[in-house]
Copies of this chain bind each other. A is one copy, B any other.
Amino acid sequence: MTTQRDRAYVHGYSRREAKRLLDQAGVLTGLLHHDTGYPPGSLVLEAGCGIGAQTVTLAEKSPGALITSLDLSRSSLLLAEVRAREAGIRGVTFLRGDIDALPFADGSFDHVFVCFVLEHLPDPVSALACLRRVLKPGGTITVIEGDHGSAYFSPDSEAAGKAIDCLVALQKEKGGNALIGRELYPILSRAEFLDVAVSPRMVYVDASHPELVEGFTKQTFTAMVEGVREEALGQGLIEKTEWDQGIRDLYRTCEPDGTFCYTFFKGTGVKRLTPPRGRTRRRGPGAR
């Protein structure tokens, strides 16, 4: 079944995309997750787990935590379950559901974890407010997002920049925001989280890191851009010759004298212990 939301995922649901997501998760585990981990017994919601690219890491980093991994796509959930089983992961409950209509009571979780999800949502502040509702007072949220505007490289290339801009435009057209990483601080603040702290996680790639050249520049980033080729050309966002040049130039940065930079952002916030002043409903004499 393909839902409206399924179609809104700019990268699609192909097998190649699944491989890309897993490559990305493997290469970036240390960078993104060295400080991810929840105590035994804590109740954790992974909202928007997709094919489970981060779920196994999350579970491995949090032995004894009770993780609920939610996604809207049934086919992705099936892949995520298989992947978790193959990795010998227990203690993760997979559940179909929508972030905007979470099937949980208020204050159900100690921690919420959201990775590469907000970038695809039309109203991330509202989504965060929904996630805040199911957090216990004092509970934490962790958000990880990329920012395609953070990509730069050597040799520099206008065509490659334009190809990347196509992906940004297509994601925007679907209601997403591929430049959301830089906005995590204001977004978490607007969603009324406290103690908001954001740290950049920069991927810097040169020939002395061949695993990043292959695993990040080629298999993650360039593969992601290439994934929207048909749509970008079909919509006339770019000329075919310029697109092809842009993709060639991205591969060119993988040569021994090339470099590539990209930054992810990881943000955390805390749900306040008491309701904000002015929002508490005062019951007057006539109130029911």
**Which chain B positions have C-beta within 8 A of A208?**
185, 196-198
Asked whether, in the complex, the Cβ of B263 is within 8 Å of the Cβ of A182, the reply is no
**Which chain B positions have C-beta within 8 A of A149?**
152, 156
Contact with B along A45-70 (1 / 0, CB 8 A): 00000000000000000000000000
A-side interface residues toward B, CB under 8 Å? 147, 149-150, 152-154, 156, 179, 182-183, 185-186, 189-190, 196-200, 202, 204, 206-208, 256-259, 261, 263
Query: Contact partner of A257 among B186, B204, B261, CB < 8 A?
Result: B186
Cα–Cα distance between A259 and B186 once the two chains are bound (Å): 8
- In the complex where A152-B147, A183-B154, A206-B185 touch, is A261 in contact with B259 (Cβ < 8 A)? no
Query: Contact partner of A153 among B182, B196, B263, CB < 8 A?
Result: B182
**Which chain B positions have C-beta within 8 A of A207?**
185, 189
**Which chain B positions have C-beta within 8 A of A206?**
185-186, 198
**Which chain B positions have C-beta within 8 A of A186?**
154, 206, 257-259
Looking at the assembled complex, report how far the CB atom of A256 sits from the nearest CB atom of chain B, in whole angstroms: 8
Question: 17 interchain pairs (CB within 8 A)?
Answer: A147-B152, A149-B156, A152-B179, A152-B182, A154-B186, A156-B179, A182-B261, A183-B259, A185-B257, A189-B257, A190-B257, A198-B206, A198-B208, A198-B259, A200-B202, A200-B204, A202-B263
**Which chain B positions have C-beta within 8 A of A199?**
204
**Which chain B positions have C-beta within 8 A of A190?**
257
